[in-house]
Amino acid sequence: MSLADILSRVRAAERLAGRPEGSVKVIAVSKVQPLDRVEAVLAEGHRVFGENYVQEAQAKWPGLRERFGSLELHMIGPLQTNKAKPAVELFDAIHTLDRPSLAEKLARLAEARGRCPELFVQVNTGEEPQKGGVLPAGVDGFIAECRVLGLPLAGLMCIPPEGEDPAPHFAELAGMAERNGLAGLSMGMSADFEAAIALGATHVRVGSAIFGARDYGAR
């Protein structure tokens, strides 16, 4: 499916939800994608991309920024504390803040740099042991800790369990954000972004529907 098709579906979902056109940011997830596919999407004018791996992003995006100009880069994969420094230097937003040690490291880096990427707290709405994210019961307390550290929280992020109806997870995340005064909701991917938009998503993360299937063996 082309980028234009995805953007058209996003705009239609916005209208259906009674939301202003352009209120949802489409993050084109370019992790493990061949460079020519990424360049093709850039050539179409898209300027918001998501990566899962700091090292891959470091190798790819400085050169692309030189060639294509200003763009937004979002970290959407798990962030190791020891990769926080290059992450804050490279990314405009980090969607996977999920533990006190990472919050403290980001706060120190922000103080030293005088600025910080936008931050989203990842919530493990399905309470899956193999996934990162703050458990729902701990979300309010963790948000309060981050605010004490002076971190610029933009919102919350979730990845619903595979095979489950994502709508209850999106609704739960929206409720958590509302009660904590957070406007950003990073939720919805290639298969379910329209449902996420209906429930308030401000950022959707769309990869394979734009770029095609990934070849992880090429990484």
Are 185 and 158 within 8 A, CB to CB? no
CA neighbor of 157 nearest in space, from 207, 114, 200 = 200
Task: Give the strand pairing for 184-186 and 153-158.
Answer: parallel
CA neighbor of 152 nearest in space, from 83, 106, 201, 100 = 106
Task: Walk along the chain (219 residues) and give the pLDDT tens digit of each residue.
Answer: 689 999 999 999 999 999 999 999 999 999 989 999 999 999 999 999 999 999 999 999 999 999 999 999 999 999 999 999 999 999 999 999 999 999 999 999 999 999 999 999 999 999 999 999 999 999 999 999 999 999 999 999 999 999 999 999 999 999 999 999 999 999 999 999 999 999 999 999 999 899 987 665 554
pLDDT for position 41: 96
pLDDT for position 2: 86
Rounded to 10°, the helix 35-43/54-68 angle is 40
pLDDT for position 219: 46
Distance CA 171, CA 160 (A): 11
pLDDT for position 213: 76
What residues contact residue 121 under an 8 Å CB cut-off, 6+ apart? 97, 98, 134, 139, 142, 143, 146, 153, 155, 156, 157
Q: What is the 3-state secondary structure (H, E, C) of 77-126?
A: CCCCHHHHHHHHHHCCEEEEECCHHHHHHHHHHHHHHCCCCEEEEEECCC
